Structure 1
Amino acid sequence: MGELNSSGNDCGSHLDSARPTRRSILKGVALTAGAILLSKPGILRAAEQEEIQVASMFDLTGNLNIYGVQQMNVSKYAIDAINQNGGVLGKKLVLNAFDTQSKIELYSRYAQEIGTNEKVAAVVGCFTGASREAARPVLSRFKKLLFFPTIDEGGECDRYTFMQGTDCVQQEGPLIEWAAKNAGKTLYVVAADYVYGHVANAWTKALAEKAGIEISGVEFIPLEVSDFSSTIRKIQSAKPAAIMSNLVGSNHIAFYRQFAAAGLNGSIPIVSPVFGLGNEQEILSAEESKGIVVAYSYFEALESPENKIFLDGFRKQYPSSGVVADTPAQVWIAWHQWKQAVEKAGTTDIMPVVEALESGQAYTGPAGPVVVDAPSHRNIQDVHLARVNADQKFEIIEKFQQMKPTRQVVGAEACDLTGTDKGAHRMIEPKF
């Protein structure tokens, strides 16, 4: 399927002559499935200088689509809302939307396509750390700005990348503190077997030790696994006071079903920095999900004028799309932080926008006030603890105001993007 603009021209097949050039071949990648240029059919495009092109890459199909569909819905909603309020620098935004199909290779492929498109000013996308690390180096090489809206393990040290989601310290600190006070001093960890799960577990160990909690067992589960019978037996043998779950994806939902079926959910509480990102509390039964405690910046239950405006507009545009979790809300925040920085800089050129983001300018959105911590390129933001109630909804039980992100990776080094690392475009990877 070609990528068509509203005048009917094929954007992926422009040729300067009958002989194909390397540039035209690269542009021809747009003819493959996955990219859709959002514009209103039947309306001629405005002059190029009156538009700003941007992009999103999310998993609309495949194992991770429980997250990606809502992320893309909010990305489209944010672009529409910005356009209805005058655009950016008075120009209309045009969104290039890519379905990465839960395939890592498509992230690097579409990042290459975006990178060779000189018109694209910014990208909001990716869900897992692995997908981010497939796209980030490519986008950085082409000097493209990437906003990563998912909670993650930390370690990005890239002047062209900004993270909206909470990091392990912002989430696991409050969760471990809650577990110590309300459950006991032993913790069993189950984590997805990829970069996030391993680094998050390193943080869990460090934070648990600080809180005087003993780790009674750790298991890393591949993303394709859905049989947790062996894990359940190990938990029964270890008899921990609480479970820390860093499981992700549709297959891993089976853990909560099997945990409840074994009768463990009534005696061993689960805390998790990832549960609910795909609205798992609605996919599971009330009995299977009740009592799970999570920590995020955003919940639908937050009461503020900004959140009401955000939700009312989203429900009007997507009336049957379900609960808005933290990551989609961070997509909204990402687009608006970028818009604010562009308008402060007076240009979409990358370095003036980066410097505007690093300047400490605050944005108040559906999750409350956020501001970029310049050395880490992460947001200082409120973090809320919430528990799944009998109605399969998140009930907020505690608030931690304006929590700062970490500037280091546990077991590795720190990052200072306004100091020693201001020219960096790399990932800090600890060894385990």
Structure 2
Amino acid sequence: MKTRWAASAAAVASMSLIVSGCGSSIGGDEGSAGEDQGPLKVGLIVPATGQISDSGLAMQAGFEVGIDKINNDGGVGGQPVEYEVQDNQSDPATTAQIARQYARADDTSLMFGTITGDSAVAAGKVADQEKIPFSTVILGDPAVCSPYAWAFGPSNRQLLSPLVPELIEEYGSDVAIVGSDYIHPRQYAARAKEIVEASGGTVVAEEYSPMGTTDFASTIGRLQDAEPDVLLSMVVGADAITFTHQADEFGLLTPELGFEGAPLDADYYGALSSLVDGREHSVRWSDARNDPESQEFVEAYREKTGAEGPIPEVAGNAYFAIRFIAAAANDAEAHGREELNAAIESFNYDSPLGQGTHFDGPANLLQADMFTATIDDGSYTVTQEHGEVADTETSCQ
């Protein structure tokens, strides 16, 4: 579904696929728009339908709240930022088609979005070919190494290294890994194996299931046979809810089992609250952060969406990501895609994600703080501050 450019962020409807407006001094490729450098225009790619739609729409809402904040503060280069939204339906082929449309529109300055790793690969390859900046906010390593790809979500190392050693120390050294069968869960598992081994643990089982699986009985049976002390789960989307409930019903998920991974994300709390309350979870941001900037975002997000439960981390990532990009563009007085890309690369930004957050390494990973949150009665309360978790390594190609 393709939408038009609009001129007012106030016209955005809650959680809907429409465009909000306002712009900057940044256009497409330098010189392509003539002397008049138009507003910064962002092509947003959202899985608004399908199994990942809840996360996709949360990302969109966080992004839109960020655009509103930027525009209310004067925009970029004195002009309001504009954006266009298209639904990729979590399909890589559709994602590539949308990305090409955005990239070949001279006035599009930046591509932003996607949720699943395979769709990020599709968009990332187009961004690299067409030399247009592309920002993701999903958790995990970027699948494409490119000077035009910017990963605002925490990497697998940043997610795993703060908490896995503690889980092994508390629950035991035998670790099982389970995931949905696509790129990101397998990359997560590869990094987990390294950290488990370095922490004195052993991976005793590794299982994957296709997206859309409704019966995890055989998978759970094999996991039980391995008798793990800790379970790391990167089963995602609607499958995360199904798997976790069945793991509980079949007796795998007990208080004696250490448990970490995607099902503990705030996205799933409404469906899994009784199974994750009391657990600890590794996060880059939580809506329980009490700093003024986080709480301003929380208030605006809830007003926009009507959401009462925990705010998904991907929404917070999207909010702070687009603000980082706008601040970088303003600081460098960037014009054109290449200048915007260079501005992002060299920028340091202070926010609730950390002081002086910046990109580093061949995959452009954001060097930012990480936290351990304790989940309780709908609150992801930060109970440990790990500071900046540096990571410049990645499995991307």
- Does the C-alpha gap of structure 1 residues 354 and 6 become closer, same or farther in structure 2, counting only changes over 3 Å? closer
What is the rounded CA distance, in whole Å, between the counterparts of 2:2 and 2:393 in structure 1? 42
Letter paired with 1:241: D
1:324 positional shift: 1.7
1:341 positional shift: 1.4
Q: Is the 8 A contact 2:42 2:109 kept in 1?
A: yes
What is the rounded CA distance, in whole Å, between the counterparts of 1:39 and 1:354 in structure 2? 22
What is the rounded CA distance, in whole Å, between the counterparts of 1:88 and 1:229 in structure 2? 52
Q: Is the 8 A contact 1:260 1:287 kept in 2?
A: no
**Deviation readout 1:347-368 (Å, 9 max, x if unpaired):** 2323332332222522314x34
Q: Which of 43, 51, 60 is the equivalent residue of 1:72?
A: 60
Q: Which of 251, 273, 292 is the equivalent residue of 1:305?
A: 292
Q: Which has the larger radius of gyration?
A: 1
- Does the C-alpha gap of structure 1 residues 134 and 306 become closer, same or farther in structure 2, counting only changes over 3 Å? same
Q: Is the 8 A contact 2:309 2:378 kept in 1?
A: no
Give the TM-score taking structure 2 as reference length: 0.88
Partner of 1:381: 368
Output aligned runs, 1:12-411, within 5 Å: 36-39=18-21, 49=37, 51-277=39-265, 279-284=267-272, 286-320=273-307, 322-365=309-352, 367-369=353-355, 371-376=357-362, 377-389=364-376, 391-409=377-395
Partner of 1:43: none
**Deviation readout 1:112-162 (Å, 9 max, x if unpaired):** 110111101112211111010111111222221111111113453210111
What is the rounded CA distance, in whole Å, between the counterparts of 1:375 and 1:251 in structure 2? 33
Secondary structure (helix, strand or coil) at the match of 1:327 reads helix
1:261 positional shift: 1.5
Larger RCO: 1 or 2 (CA < 8 Å, sep 6+): 2
Output aligned runs, 1:408-419, within 5 Å: 408-409=394-395
What is the rounded CA distance, in whole Å, between the counterparts of 1:238 and 1:5 in structure 2? 54
Q: Is the 8 A contact 1:129 1:196 kept in 2?
A: yes
- Does the C-alpha gap of structure 1 residues 135 and 345 become closer, same or farther in structure 2, counting only changes over 3 Å? same
Q: Is the 8 A contact 2:111 2:132 kept in 1?
A: yes
Q: Is the 8 A contact 1:240 1:268 kept in 2?
A: no
Letter paired with 2:307: S
Secondary structure (helix, strand or coil) at the match of 2:221 reads helix
What is the rounded CA distance, in whole Å, between the counterparts of 2:238 and 2:232 in structure 1? 18
What is the rounded CA distance, in whole Å, between the counterparts of 1:215 and 1:5 in structure 2? 50
Give the TM-score taking structure 1 as reference length: 0.81
- Does the C-alpha gap of structure 1 residues 39 and 199 become closer, same or farther in structure 2, counting only changes over 3 Å? closer
Letter paired with 1:275: P
Letter paired with 1:76: E
Unaligned runs of 5+ in 1: 8-33, 41-47, 410-426
Q: Is the 8 A contact 1:232 1:259 kept in 2?
A: yes
- Does the C-alpha gap of structure 1 residues 343 and 93 become closer, same or farther in structure 2, counting only changes over 3 Å? same
1:218 positional shift: 0.7
Q: Is the 8 A contact 1:245 1:270 kept in 2?
A: no
What is the rounded CA distance, in whole Å, between the counterparts of 1:301 and 1:369 in structure 2? 19
Letter paired with 2:323: H
Stretch deviating more after TM superposition (67-76 or 269-278): 269-278
What is the rounded CA distance, in whole Å, between the counterparts of 1:278 and 1:107 in structure 2? 25
1:70 positional shift: 0.7
Letter paired with 1:319: G
Q: Is the 8 A contact 2:360 2:367 kept in 1?
A: no
Secondary structure (helix, strand or coil) at the match of 1:157 reads coil
Q: Is the 8 A contact 1:243 1:268 kept in 2?
A: no
Partner of 2:28: none
Stretch deviating more after TM superposition (61-70 or 225-234): 225-234
Letter paired with 1:303: N
Secondary structure (helix, strand or coil) at the match of 1:220 reads strand
